[in-house]
Amino acid sequence: MEHSFAGTPNPRADYHVLAADGHDVSSTNTSVSREDLQSPQGDIPGSLELEKYNKSDKNIYTFHRAKPGILSILADITADGAPLALIVLSFIVLRLDGKEPRDREELSAWENTVTVLGTLFPIIFASIIGRLTYETARWKLERGAALGSLEQLMGSQTVGATLLTQIKLRALNPLSVGLILIWACSPLGGQSILRMLRTRYESNVHPSDLVYFDTNAQSQPSRVDKDDFRPEVRNVKFPFLDTNGGHDWHNLSGNVENADSAFYSALIGIPINMPLPANATFSLESSYINLECPDVTLSTTQNATGSYFQWPDQGDEGKKEWRNGTWGGFDVPEGSVMGAWAIAVDTFVDSYWTNDTLTQERFGLNQETRLLGGTERRPSMFENETDIEVDQARLNLRAQPGVDYATGATLKLLAYCNVAQKYVESRVACDSSAEQLNCSVTAQRPSRRRHASEYITYLSFPQIFRYISKEMPNATALGEEYPSLALQHLNNVGINAINYVEDDQMFSKVNNTLFSHHLGQILNTYILASQMDNWAIGGVTKHQKVTIPVDYSSLVEAYSVSLPWMGLCLLSCFLLLIGGVLSVIFANMVTGPEVLGYASTVLRDSRFIDMPPKTGQMSAIDLTNREKQTRIRYGFTKEKTDGELLIGVGLEETTEPIRNRPTGG
């Protein structure tokens, strides 16, 4: 937009005219020549140029922008470059989400970067948006605008000033609302940068194989093809299945590792092999023998009842056809040491299933595959069999826990238990560190796979039960002066207890449920140990282990980007970018000088100080630098209207102060 000046009128009396060099030309009614207006002395820096056109014998002056200076170019670049840099950095931070820092130095560098940018953001925001409001006000002023809107824009240079200006002007319009919302992004943007990047610990999941011991393995296995476990082996103890839990998952509450000893189906665990350090949650299958002993009695030998156990000599068990309903097992020998005990079972599988020749033909086994872990002599051989009638076996326990000191009679313990094989699916959670691996069962349910009847157990095979009946009682520290560890455990003292219990006090109060669990633990522990043989810790054969694919997870520190804070950060940065672009546009669309918001504006606009025309082309800062030694005052000038002095801004020496002015003047 062009401004035209058709000549310049002579200054009125008592006006002060400043020449181009800033000196006082006249304080009286003095004419200023056209040449003085056209050619001021000295060089005048500025961003505008004044040109004269001669048209119809009239001199017409017009302003147009000169080439921008270095500072103006730098301001434009900064107004657009700073928001772009913040946006690019925000997207780089967004891509960090979920990634692991290479090292602590990288993490520290990002934390410092975010902290510094969060501190600088309000400063950058105020610089760019403050420039936008100022340049917008200049642009509106050249095209004509309401004084109120100009004051709103000029008063909105900071967050606090924006609020105070709207309150003082009592302004409630779209411009005031927009200014408040824009400036609200200054503190919110700074906070969003500070809060957008954090770290969290998350699971690093990777697939692998988990190996655990197969509880359906053959008892007393062969030692061929030994495949060693890795050192990261832990034995996981499995609880008894809650029979009231139905067929759905039953969560195990509380600290399973510190549960009562009767909670577990065996006193040792199943070996599980997994890498370290890693965390994993997986499901696996296992089985155990479950006993229910409703009949437990303690008596003296004088009135004890029950038939003796019977068992053929070594080598004859494969030839004898067992008549179910009679007790088969090694009895407590006459005159045995105190604390001796024995077990017997009254039901076995048909002799057809104990004949090696017949079973090898039926299952297609040969001598090599049988040694490598064939299906014979374990319940799994009946998984696919149908139309087989099975009766539930009973187990008979006989023990001599001690002597009745009152009568001198030997105490005799009799227990009758129902036997069943339980198949369980357990959910196991493993938590590992660099030093150790801790695994525990968190939930259980009945197995949903196909299995043999639960009435067929390891005790149903004469070849297996012969060794159990003969060797297991001898493996529990028999002694002549105290009950064996097995009897102490059955007495609910606990396997870890060392306290001695008097003979005549044992089994005085029997809890049938605990007795059943403890006897089942002893039996399952012996069977499980015999299955694992001498490699319970060091290794197992390949037919004794189960390999399942699992996803391991280990806790790692990773970057965490808050999406809400990141969204607010990007919103503030894009708003800042728009403000920067608009400030550049408005700054380059304005033609006139900077007449808003500078002290030199008072000098430029004073009615009582005449300035050379070319000073209109100067920026506010340039004008201040040129006239910085000129002293001005707001007060009473010498011009009178109806005998009264006028108030305004004039030169200090010709303007009287508004305070302490003598009267009568």
pLDDT tens sequence across 517-549: 999 999 999 988 887 764 444 444 445 566 666
Specify the pLDDT at position 506. Answer: 75
Q: Report yes or no: 342 and 306 within 8 Å, Cβ to Cβ.
A: no
Query: pLDDT tens digits, residue range 220-262?
Result: 443 433 344 344 567 788 899 987 777 888 888 755 555 565 6
Specify the pLDDT at position 91. Answer: 94
> What percent of the chain is predicted at pLDDT more than 70?
65
Residue 230: half-sphere exposure toward Cβ, Cα within 13 Å: 11
**Sign of the alpha-carbon torsion through 134, 136, 142, 145:** negative
Is 438 inside a domain boundary? yes
Is 61 inside a domain boundary? no
Q: Inform me whether the pLDDT recorded for 29 exceeds 70.
A: no
Is 232 inside a domain boundary? yes
Composition of the chain by helix, strand, coil, percent to 5:
35, 25, 40
SS3 call for 604:
helix
Amino acid at 252: L
In sequence order, what are the beta bridge partners of 239?
264
Specify the pLDDT at position 170. Answer: 81
Residue 274: half-sphere exposure toward Cβ, Cα within 13 Å: 34
Task: At 527, give phi and psi (nearest 5°).
Answer: -65, -45
Specify the pLDDT at position 116. Answer: 94
Task: At 569, give phi and psi (nearest 5°).
Answer: -65, -45
Residue 371: half-sphere exposure toward Cβ, Cα within 13 Å: 7
Is 424 inside a domain boundary? yes
Q: Inform me whether the pLDDT recorded for 39 exceeds 80.
A: no
- 10/17 Cα distance (integer angstroms): 10
Through-space distance between the first and last CA atoms of the chain, rounded to whole angstroms: 46
| Same domain membership, residue 614 and residue 484 | no
- 61/546 Cα distance (integer angstroms): 99
Query: pLDDT tens digits, residue range 562-600?
Result: 999 999 999 999 999 999 999 898 888 877 666 677 667
| Same domain membership, residue 583 and residue 541 | no
More confident residue, 285 or 360: 285
Distances in whole angstroms, Cα of residue 473 to Cα of each of 343, 466, 487: 8, 12, 10
Task: At 368, give phi and psi (nearest 5°).
Answer: -70, -50
- 241/33 Cα distance (integer angstroms): 114
Specify the pLDDT at position 350. Answer: 84
Strand residues in 481-535 grouped as ranges (E): none
| Same domain membership, residue 189 and residue 114 | yes
Is 535 inside a domain boundary? yes
Count of structural domains within the chain: 3
| Same domain membership, residue 606 and residue 580 | no
Angle among Cα 303, 305, 310 to the nearest 5 degrees reads: 140
Query: pLDDT tens digits, residue range 135-193?
Result: 888 888 777 777 678 778 888 888 988 898 888 878 788 988 999 999 999 999 999 99
| Same domain membership, residue 79 and residue 32 | no
Q: Inform me whether the pLDDT recorded for 371 exceeds 50.
A: no
Q: How many CB atoms lie within 10 A of CB 316?
A: 9
Q: How many CB atoms lie within 10 A of CB 366?
A: 10
Specify the pLDDT at position 556. Answer: 80
**What confidence tier does 47 reach under pLDDT thresholds 50, 70, 90?**
very low
Question: Would you give the distance in Å from CA 365 to the centre of its chain?
Answer: 53
Query: What is the average pLDDT score of the chain?
Result: 74
Q: Inform me whether the pLDDT recorded for 18 exceeds 70.
A: no
Task: At 282, give phi and psi (nearest 5°).
Answer: -150, 170
In sequence order, what are the beta bridge partners of 53?
60
Give me the residue label for tokens 């609302």.
Answer: 177
Question: Which span out of 67-71, 135-139, 300-304, 473-477 was modeled with the highest average pLDDT?
Answer: 135-139
Is 65 inside a domain boundary? no
Structure tokens at 301: 């030998």
Domain that holds residue 406: 206-556
- 660/662 Cα distance (integer angstroms): 6
| Same domain membership, residue 309 and residue 183 | no
Section 327-349 average pLDDT: 79
Specify the pLDDT at position 394. Answer: 95
Specify the pLDDT at position 368. Answer: 53
More confident residue, 307 or 88: 88
| Same domain membership, residue 582 and residue 493 | no
Specify the pLDDT at position 180. Answer: 92
| Same domain membership, residue 229 and residue 170 | no
Residue 142: half-sphere exposure toward Cβ, Cα within 13 Å: 19
- 545/539 Cα distance (integer angstroms): 10
- 108/125 Cα distance (integer angstroms): 26
| Same domain membership, residue 296 and residue 252 | yes
Is 57 inside a domain boundary? no
SS3 call for 113:
helix
For residue 277, whether the previous peptide bond is cis, meaning omega lies within 30 degrees of 0, is: yes
Query: pLDDT tens digits, residue range 635-660?
Result: 778 777 676 777 777 887 888 876 65
Specify the pLDDT at position 228. Answer: 40
Query: pLDDT tens digits, residue range 405-448?
Result: 666 677 888 899 999 999 999 988 877 665 666 788 889 999 98
| Same domain membership, residue 621 and residue 585 | no
Q: Report yes or no: 371 and 224 within 8 Å, Cβ to Cβ.
A: yes
SS3 call for 106:
helix
Contacts of 659 (CB under 8 A, 6+ apart): none
Contacts of 492 (CB under 8 A, 6+ apart): 262, 511, 514, 515, 518
**Sign of the alpha-carbon torsion through 511, 488, 470, 383:** positive
Q: Report yes or no: 236 and 273 within 8 Å, Cβ to Cβ.
A: no
Distances in whole angstroms, Cα of residue 249 to Cα of each of 262, 284, 423, 424, 588: 21, 13, 14, 11, 73
Boundary residue ending a domain (533, 556, 579): 556
| Same domain membership, residue 598 and residue 585 | no
Structure tokens at 598: 């500078």
Q: Inform me whether the pLDDT recorded for 121 exceeds 90.
A: yes
Q: Is the pTM of this model over 0.75?
A: no
Is 419 inside a domain boundary? yes
Q: How many CB atoms lie within 10 A of CB 85?
A: 13
Report the run of H or E that residue 94 belongs to, with start and end.
helix 70-95
Q: Which residues of 601-628 are buried (b: 16+ CB within 10 A; e: fewer)?
A: bebbebebbbbbbbbbbbbbebbbebbe
Structure tokens at 528: 């499980």
For residue 537, give the nearest of 270, 215, 275, 285 by alpha carbon. 270
> What percent of the chain is predicted at pLDDT more than 90?
21
Specify the pLDDT at position 304. Answer: 46
| Same domain membership, residue 228 and residue 134 | no
Boundary residue ending a domain (532, 556, 580): 556
Amino acid at 83: P
Specify the pLDDT at position 377. Answer: 74
